Amino acid sequence: MDEMTRLRELRADAPEPDRSTLAPGRQRLTAAIAGGRRERRLRTDWRLAAVGAAVAVTVAALLGTQLVGTSDPHTTGPAATAAGLDLSRPAAETLGGAADFLEGVTPPPEPRDDQWIYTRSVLGEPRLKVPDSQAGEVEYNPDSWIPYRDPAMDKDRSDDEHSAREIYRAAAALPEDPVALLARVRELYPADTTAGAAAEDKEEQTFRGLGVLIESYPLPPAALARIYRAMATIPGIEITDRLVKDAAGREAVAVTREEKGTHQRREILLSPYDFSYAGLRFVVTEDYEPEWPEDFQGAPAQKYTAGDITIDSARTVAAVVDAEGAKP
């Protein structure tokens, strides 16, 4: 039996998820597959994490996301901060500069309960030195809409799923103290304690949770400033010494931390213009070959080389709109 048939069988008894459930989890699902970590529960079998980045896009398609195609890169306004950005400084100084910038931004009004959050994303193909012989083309819709206030989440959700309104208000209420702020983030995005889940230490859990929080839209600028100041205190946080290219071809600041036991590092990408969320990447840190569960026969052989990019996603548009299907 081939691995795609096995994957379909793993999900054979699962209900068909609706669009609002899938939209916010698409990117975090692919990230979880790459790193063997759970980003959100999304009712997935833990064995999906074992398939690795070699079939990440295909797995996402099997779960019901109507994924891929690309959206055109776009610029995000004048280079107000990029010109003075010095990536040779320690990560704490760069993140502190981002926080200083955000503290001077006038916050827009909070969305109304009847409004929707529109996002447009690009999911790039893995960039591998040794081509993946199992990769195939997948079609997807890069546009998604989620309600700002989502009453459905009050009835059926896991302990780390939150509506856009809940996240906005939780972010606005984050404390100034970095230790207290990071503890609150771990409450919002707890560690996975289900059987078979890959263990993560407190710092990994915190950085993962911060990534999910920073990706959320909208966030008050002052809250994002506090988040960046707190992020700078996590051991192992680094910033690449140059701007990188995201999946949409735009320049981005990469805030990184190595993921224990995965041979990869997580990179949260930020716009160098306004320090908003730009995307997520997983980059291989050393040559390795994925290990498969004993009961997963017929898995494809794939070798990864240091510098490979196994997951590459970018958000190109985020906006508050008045109705599902509306665009800015």
pLDDT one-digit tens code per residue, 68-113: 222 333 344 444 455 467 898 999 999 999 999 999 999 999 999 9
61, part of any domain: yes
- Please report whether residue 47 resides in a domain: yes
95 and 86 Cβ atoms separated by less than 8 Å: no
Confidence of residue 31 (pLDDT cuts 50, 70, 90): very low
Lowest-pLDDT range of 13-17, 86-90, 113-117: 13-17
Question: Does pLDDT of 61 surpass 60?
Answer: no
The phi, psi pair for 85, rounded to 5°, reads: -80, 120
Spatial CB neighbours of 167, under 8 Å, sequence gap ≥ 6: 188, 213, 216, 219
For the chain, what is the domain count?
1
Please report whether residue 328 resides in a domain: no
| 22 inside domain | yes
Asked if omega into 68 is within 30° of 0 (cis), the reply is yes
Q: Is residue 133 part of a domain?
A: yes
Is the residue at 219 inside a domain? Answer: yes
**Averaged pLDDT, 229-238:** 97
| Residue 150 located in a structural domain | yes
| Domain extent at residue 120 | 3-72+80-321
Comparing CA positions, the residue from 60, 137, 57, 133 lying closest to residue 300 is 133
- Residue 215 CB partners (closer than 8 Å, separation 6+): 27, 28, 277, 280, 315
Q: 22-36, 103-117, 154-168: which range is least confident on average?
A: 22-36
Read off the pLDDT of residues 178-199 as tens digits, 9 standing for 90 and up.
999 999 999 999 987 665 556 7
